[in-house]
Structure 1
Amino acid sequence: MPKPLLLNRRSGLYVRFRVPTDLRDAVGSRFLVRPLRHPPGETARLAAAVLDVALSNAFRKIRTGGVMVDIKQLLKDAEDAFQLTIGGVRLPNGVELTNVLINTAEDERQFCDLMAAATPTSTSRGAKKAVAVERRKENFLGALSATHLADLERAGRDKKTVLESRHSLMLLRGIVGDIPAADLTSDHCRQFFDDVAYWPRHATKRPEFANLSVREVLAKAKTMAEPPPAAATLNKHHQRLSTFFNWLKKNKHLTENPLHGLVRQDKDDAEEETGRAFTQEELDAIFEPTAYVAWAAKYPHRFWVPILALYSGARVTELSQLYVADVEVINGIPGYHINRRFPGQKLKNKASRRFVPLAQPVLDAGFLRFAEEAKAAGQARLFPQLPNNDGGGFGKQMSKQFSAYLRKRGVTESGLGMHAFRHTLATRLARAKVPLQTIGKITGHKGEQGTLGKFYIDEPTLHERLDALALFEPGINLPWVTVLERL
């Protein structure tokens, strides 16, 4: 069982757990740190012990069954399950309550309101007898949100979809309160969107917002002039809430969807994927031979994923999840499938299914040799060192590692990362007068007429795509041979 270490920081009390050596690749870190929303003392130590037990069970599942566990969510659920119980209290009117469970700040507020409102005239026959009270929350947003999220998981929804829905529902409860679902109105929805427009980016990961409630985060963010969320982000909140409200309606907790009276944000004219291409100076910094060799020599995925991204425009998750069997030679043209054929693989949309020809520089670098060696070693995946412990995709660690490398190379613009390779390829091919439909077949963008909606290799256009990739000129010389000898 991992031993909890309590850390008393300026932002509050935290507990740290050391990840066992054999599980660090799967978990993706050496330590796990969680805030304890209690002052130092017995209650904090008990809360740490609850997290300790939950974490031990998660480690056991990973070891024995290879089960993918969302460690962060598991600790949060365990933290939420740690309930404060009031053994007994006498109200001003003489009524005695015992075993009162206070689960949330909203419970605490309602309990205080109950005590303030209690008067001697409100007692009923036998009210002075000791009674066991446990708040029934079945019809409140908190309990119904948990049931809805469990239904999404049961239906096989993508892990990322569930996590994003959990985030939107958490904000909803934090803004309008853990109220009965039947009390929801359009005004509550308007209040939600008025307030969520101030929600700071990555608030749950930033130390300045640690241990703050949703309301407190919003109040602080309003004084910090945080940039507003994009229209696409607000529309995603709208979509997730609407799905939840329709679920409430089907389960007879609501008669109408309160969002129906609201107008959605205007959609951006651009595709949902935002960002920009790398500049030539940034590409030179990224692939500077000495620096790239030092960084990439540790793991094969550090060498190959950025190169594949540069010469294909594929998304980081698409490349990180490749299996050895995805690499094939079709009609004499070597390439790799981006599909959902093997465990853990995912697609952004139907147009993402495609066969990507390998550009000549990638072949010259020895990618096929690397794939053959992985096959001979009995590997199923090309990059087995990249974990998918929370089910959110194999690209998460790759993206983090590459972003850290970018900062060391002086590329520090916020939001710039692996996805910029996608823009780089598409932009330079467009400048080379490659037809947009051909670019779309390479990158997996949606076709105008829906012709890319079905997965097919589309053999007649393979040479067209290969010829298009030959027109891509990144303007750099990559340190192929030096790195290959080390991998």
Structure 2
Amino acid sequence: MPKPHFLRRPSGLYVRFLIPLDCRAAFGRRYLVRSLGNLAGDAARLTAAQFGYNLAQSIGALRAGMPMVKKRKTLPGPMMLKHGVGYAPLASSLPPPEALADEVDPFAPGDHTPPPVRIQNGAGDEVFHYTQQMGPDGTFTLTTDGTEEDHRRAMEMAAQMAVHFHGAVAPAAPVQSARPSPLLSVNIPLFLTQFRQKKPSAANILDTTFTLRILLSVVGDKPVRDVEATDMDKFLDAIQHWPPNATKQAAFKDLTPAAIVKKAKKLGGRVISQRTQEKHLDSLRKFFKWCVRRKELDDNPAAGLHVMTRAEEETRTRRAFSDAELATIFDPERRAKHCDTPSRWWLPLLALYTGARAQELAQLRAADVEEVAGIWGLHITAAGEGQHLKNAQSRRFVPLHPALIAAGLLDYRADAIAAGADRLFPGLGAKPGDTVGDWFNRTYLRSVCGFDAGQVFHCFRHSFSTKADRAGVSEARIARITGHSTGGSILREHYIDAPSLLERLATVSAVVFDLPPVAPYAAGRFAAFFTKHKKVQRRKAAVDGRARRSSKA
């Protein structure tokens, strides 16, 4: 029997039933909903159970090729003639099920009272040698009075009726059993487990987990196969009202995602960027694509779902920094006051002179700064634990610009190694690129430098490419440094090939910026930072150790 799902709406209590997959074409819908009026408690449950029973009878009738009823109007089922214990099936006189979709009430009680049967002799007199009966399954039975003559005549009549009805009725379509569909609450943890096995970045896991948490909260737990366009509308509405860092704000503390969205709508204020919304949609598509591959969904309900056009995404408020803006960003007094950690001091400079992405630089290990054939440079790879690249073209060796060496980057590297740091810029957490970007974009550029929201860390990448282009460097040579795709015509099997190192160094050196003087790095500048970081790491190791011992006990 279909399981009732209760819905409380402003107009009262309702009950909803899921229609099996093989019957939806006949019903013309996925769900059937009925009002329970002002009923509550046991009375509502009893009425819902009665609805469910009647619906089960209608579904059973439909699967047997029988009709459903409207306003208790009885339609005949398959006819059978009975004599003793023998049955003779007749061709059904029913209309095809699809003709009934708009004419039936599947919740109508199963009234199987047969229509009157008039049997006459040649003189027109009625004879009553037959009785009629319609069973619970809709089978229509005529029973003779038991004489051989009556049975013979009844069988002749049955043959004539079969000829009369033959060809007038479309045969019932074969019933395909509906494959059970797991709930979202079951599939999401399984997907995340298998997703982790592919070893994505910790940031990717956190983002995907959070996206699916929002999905489950705003659409509710339901079978995966029942997720539809209206659910995607709810998800879109949620992310378009989602406040930045909502879970860290006191106003939204301990609230579910659905409650956060409801409260955010009342409070108003800033929401996450369109780019962040697109990331949520990317994670959603990834999950439903996995469901489709497992044949738990016919198609991906999030496919083609976007909040930005491709053109908008390509040109989203990105341009190179002007010389005046760079002078503001790298003002010596401003940097001395606000760039108080290794990552804040070095990463803007590295981005300006390499054109690399924030994530690529923030995840560097100390060992990734290396001298190759007499040329110092950065290994931008995904070889280390927790390192990830955007694509295959991103793997590369970038020579250090002379300005970086003059600024003392190699001296800083030595300090980091001496302090026992594996990461070149420790303390950035599971999402190092986001940590750097958030501080630079929201704090340094907006609050400290007074820039508008159109400028972000990624603009360093555009600044490098723009300067290289104006210096006459070819697009292919720029792509070697920045890790852009070149269509496969330039990149080679190995990302380091000795003949190209001098060319790469020349490309990097051709990029010149008119910046205020950068004070050389003084050895030991961040000694206090490394000492504090060591204490944090020791404390974390102790906590993890106690947790492991406790789990074994």
Q: TM-score range by the shorter chain?
A: 0.5 to 0.7
Contact 1:174 1:213 in 2 (8 A): yes
Q: 1:436 to 1:158 in 2, by over 3 A?
A: same
SS of match in other structure, 1:480:
coil
- The residue type equivalent to 1:294 in the other structure is K
Of the candidates 32, 44, 62, which is equivalent to residue 117 of structure 1?
A: 44
Amino acid aligned to 2:329: I
Structure 2: segments with no counterpart, 5+ residues: 1-38, 51-180, 527-553
Q: In structure 1, what is the equivalent of residue 221 of structure 2? A: 178
Secondary structure, aligned partner of 2:377: strand
Superposed, 1:359-438 pairs within 5 Å as 359-375=401-417, 378-383=420-425, 385-388=426-429, 391-392=430-431, 394-403=432-441, 404-414=443-453, 416-438=455-477
Deviations 1:234-285 (A, max 9, x none): 6544443333224334545435444569799642376488633333333222
Q: Which has the larger radius of gyration?
A: 2
RMSD: 3.8
The equivalent residue for 2:400 is: 358
- Cα deviation, residue 430, structure 1: 2.2
**Aligned counterpart for 2:325 among listed residues 282, 293, 317:** 282
The verdict on how the C-alpha distance between 1:335 and 1:447 changes in structure 2, with shifts beyond 3 A counting, is: same
* Identity within the alignment, %: 34
How far has the Cα of 1:338 moved from its partner?
Answer: 0.7
What is the alpha-carbon distance in structure 2 between the residues aligned to residue 251 and residue 322 of structure 1?
37
Deviation at 1:186, TM superposition (A): 3.9
Alpha carbons of structure 1 residues 315 and 280: separation in structure 2 relative to 1, 3 Å: same
Please say if residues 351 and 461 of structure 2, whose CA atoms lie closer than 8 Å, have aligned partners that are also in contact.
Answer: yes
For 1:165-184, what per-residue CA distance to the aligned partner results, in whole angstroms no more than 9, with x for missing partners?
22332332333322222322
The count of residues paired between Structure 1 and Structure 2 equals 357
Instruction: Please say if residues 293 and 483 of structure 1, whose CA atoms lie closer than 8 Å, have aligned partners that are also in contact.
Output: no
1: distance between equivalents of 2:219 and 2:45? 25
One-letter identity of the residue aligned with 1:427? T
Alignment check: 8 A CA contact 1:351 1:445 kept: yes
Structure-1 separation of matches of 2:273 and 2:439:
25
Find the counterpart in structure 2 of residue 162 from structure 1.
205
Structure 1: 5+ residue stretches without partners: 1-111, 124-137
Contact 1:324 1:380 in 2 (8 A): yes
- Output the amino acid matched with 1:418: F
Tell me if the contact between 1:141 and 1:179 (Cα under 8 Å) persists in the aligned partners: yes
Contact 2:355 2:482 in 1 (8 A): yes
Higher relative contact order (CA 8 A, sep 6+): 1
- Matched letter for residue 156 of structure 1: K
Decide whether the 8 Å contact of 1:446 with 1:453 is kept in 2.
no
Partner of 1:329: 371
Q: Name the structure 2 match of 1:67.
A: none
Deviation at 1:356, TM superposition (A): 0.8
Partner AA of 2:502 in structure 1: H
**Does residue 291 of structure 1 match 2:334?**
yes
Deviation at 1:446, TM superposition (A): 1.9
For 1:275 and 1:406, the matched residues in 2 are separated by: 14
Task: Name the CA shift for 1:274/1:113 in 2 (closer, same or farther; >3 Å).
Answer: farther
Identify the match of residue 309 of structure 1 among 348, 351, 361: 351
The residue aligned with 1:340 is: 382
Q: Which amino acid aligns with 2:221?
A: D
Distance between the aligned counterparts of 2:437 and 2:265, measured in 1?
27
Map 1:159-308; keep pairs closer than 5 Å: 159-193=202-236, 196-206=239-249, 211=255, 213-214=257-258, 217=261, 220-221=264-265, 224=268, 230=274, 236-251=279-294, 253-259=296-302, 266-268=309-311, 271=314, 275-296=318-339, 298-308=340-350
Tell me the equivalent position of 2:185.
142
Q: Deviations over 1:172-212 (max 9, x none)?
A: 23333222223223443355446644545554445555536
Which amino acid is the alignment partner of residue 444 of structure 2?
Y
- The residue number in structure 1 matching 2:513 is 474
How far apart are the structure 1 equivalents of 2:304 and 2:333? 59
Partner SS state of residue 382, structure 1: coil
Cα displacement (A) at 1:357: 0.8
Question: What CA deviation, in whole Å up to 9, does each residue of 1:316-363 have, x standing for no partner?
Answer: 222222223222222322211111222222212211111111111112
Q: Normalising by the residue count of structure 2, what TM-score does the alignment of the two structures yield?
A: 0.55
| Contact 1:145–1:169 (8 Å) recurs in 2 | yes
